[in-house]
Each structure stands twice: as C-alpha cells, then as structure tokens.
Amino acid sequence: MSIKTSMIDVQTNVELKSLNTLSLNSVASHYVQIDHKDALLDALSYASDNKLNVMILSGGSNMLLPESINALVVHMNIQGIEYVAEDESTHTLRVGAGQSWHDFVLWTTAHQFYGLQNLALIPGLVGASPVQNIGAYGVEVGEFIRLVEAYDRKEKCFSQILAADCKFAYRDSIFKQDPTRYIITHVMFKLLKQPELKINYGDLRAAMGNELTAENLEKQVIQIRQSKLPDPKQYPNAGSFFKNPIIQAAAYEKLSIQFPSLPHYDQGNGTVKIAAGWLIDQAGWKGNRLGQVGMFEKQALVLVNYAQANLNDVQATYRAVQQDVVQKFSVLLEPEPVLFNSAGLIQSHSI
C-alpha cells in the first residue's frame, strides 16, 4: 500500500533486504524515501500523527536489522554536489546525504580536489560518513569536513554544525553519541587544491611505487581494499564488524609479553589501539563459520552473511567470536554496526 501526501509517498510492508549490505531479512511497517530537505518535515509529521518511531536509513552498510520493524523508516536520498566557494588552499563543496560515498570520492579526484582519496571504496552514502567518522589508511573524514547540515529534532529546526563541534574521534561523533537528535541532509567538505599524500599506513607506500600522485593513491587504495575486503554484492557484509579496541598502555604491556606480535598503534595519550582482526584471527575465527555467518577468510574483522541469515544468526556468530577473544586475550570486542530493535530504536550490544 502507498499513502501519498503533497510531498511524500509512504509505503507499507517494505522489504529492506536489498537496502542493508548484510542482506538481512527485514520488513518495515512504513517506509518513505526523502529526496528533498522539505519532504523530511512532512515525513516527521506523518510519523508523529501516526504515533510511529522514526528510523533513519542511509546506505545500510553499518546496520543490524531485526526481521520486522514497526516504525517509519526514512530513507535519506538527497542528491547533488554543489560548488560553494574557494580560498587560497581549499575548495568547499556541499553534497547531498544520499550521494554514493565512493562515487563522490571518484568525482573529487577527477576534478583534482584532494584529501578523500584514502577513503575510496568505503561503502555507504555521504550522509552517513560523519556519523561514525569513516576512516581508512591514515585518514578520517572529519579532517575534510567544514560543517554538517542536519535537522535538529530537539530544537525542531534545520541547523549547521561546524566540524569543531562534531566531536570527531575514532569511529565516533556527536551524531553517533546522540543518534536520535540529528538527521543529516548535507555535508560541506573542504578539499585541498594541492595534494598532501598520506601514504604511511601499512603497505600503501610500497604499493605506490614511484608514482606519488593522488590518482595513483586512490587506485592503490581501491586495489588493496579489493584484495582483502569482500564485495557486499557477492558476500553480504558490513565492513569491519568490530572496532579496534583502545586499551590502557599498562594493559597492552601485559598482553605484549604473551603476544609480542600483536599489531598495535600508540595513541599518544596513555592508550594503545590494538588490531581486532589479529585477535579474531589468532582466536581461530578467520575463515570460520557458525551456521551461515562467519568471519571472512582474507580479513577476519569482516563478518559475512553466507546465505539467508537473519539477525539472530549474526548475533550467535559475533557473540561466539567475542567470547573466544575474551577467553584468550581478556579483551571485549565492541561491534561497529548499529543494532536496531523491532520498534526501530537503537539498542545496546550487551551480551
């Protein structure tokens, strides 16, 4: 069924399987796609008139969905890349939340706007990029954001949040901390006129060879990702399933006596980030499955739905991984994707 108002077209009983990259079976009682900022207000009124919770859906690449959701699923699909301004060293662009992230990165490189090349091939949409401050190969998106435009559900108005107020940190921001407050409509990026290549991460420098250009950097990042990370179309997944744990330096020292080859990155503030992929691998889970859900054979940090799994199957696998890692290393891995309940609300991952 479809309920049309002047600006929006609300559909009922909509299958979300193709809209989440883990391909979990999930049906939304109500669903609306939003192509313009103004339509968002209509959708919010519709939800409030019909006493429905609102659940925001972006690219679905970082979500764990239950089999049925009784809520208004608001699918943010605002398109467009606008050139806003320039100064001596940067270009400012305003991009719709529904724009594909990877296509946007390719577009910036083609137009010689620099900074985002390390973030090529990350799944998802532009509007979700600030939420968990997506990062890869030594770059986090927050470094290149000028401001985020969002509807503020607390103040009931559209607002602009400067990057300095977004509290960007490792896979974190105010949008992640306070998920029911803001609905992101656009992101304003500040990109460099001259490339400043960041190629110190892992084997990136070697992969670059002598061609030290932003174009080659993007190409190499794409190649490295394709060699390790499964394509969600072939192996449904949500990228890194767990965060790399950040532990106290003293706890790391203790672990390193028993496990000297544990990959680690000193955070410079008395804490150390350790590689979750290595922990999972050493706990015997690389390429291992429980039922139809397992950890990928080329990168143990990525959980894959190998068949027709539902949320319970995913939970059984990741909890088994957590338990084995705790047993071996006394470290509790925190899942990265956001878990939703059947009322469309965010839930904690507690075991």
# residues near ligand EPU by CB under 6 A: 17
Applying CB under 6 A, among 263, 291, 332, 346 the residue interacting with ligand EPU is 263
Q: Does 277 bind ligand EPU (CB under 6 A)?
A: yes
Q: Does 286 bind ligand EPU (CB under 6 A)?
A: yes
Q: Which of 49, 101, 47 is nearest to 74 (CA)?
A: 47
Taking the CB of residue 38, how many other CB atoms lie within 10 A of it? 12
Per-residue mark of binding to ligand EPU, 194-223 (x: CB under 6 A): -------xx---------------------
Q: Which of 340, 277, 332 is nearest to 314 (CA)?
A: 340
Number of H helices, E strands in the chain: 8, 22
Q: Can you spell out the DSSP letters for 153-179?
A: TTTTEEEEEEGGGS--BTTB-HHHHST
Catalytic-residue membership of 336: yes
Give the H/E segment covering residue 56: strand 54-57
CA 199, chain centre distance (Å): 22
Which CB sits closer to ligand EPU, 102 or 153? 102
Q: Does 119 bind ligand EPU (CB under 6 A)?
A: no
Which CB sits closer to ligand EPU, 123 or 344? 123
Marked catalytic residue, from 26, 146, 171, 218: 171
Which CB sits closer to ligand EPU, 33 or 240? 240
Q: Least distance in Å: CB of 246 to ligand EPU?
A: 10
Q: Does 289 bind ligand EPU (CB under 6 A)?
A: no
Q: Rounded CA gap, 148 and 186, in Å?
A: 6
Q: Rounded CA gap, 227 and 299, in Å?
A: 10
Per-residue mark of binding to ligand EPU, 129-158 (x: CB under 6 A): -------xx---------------------
Residues facing 346 on adjacent strands: 340
Which residues form the interface with ligand EPU (CB under 6 A)?
Answer: 136-137, 201-202, 239-240, 243-244, 263, 275, 277-278, 281, 286, 299-301
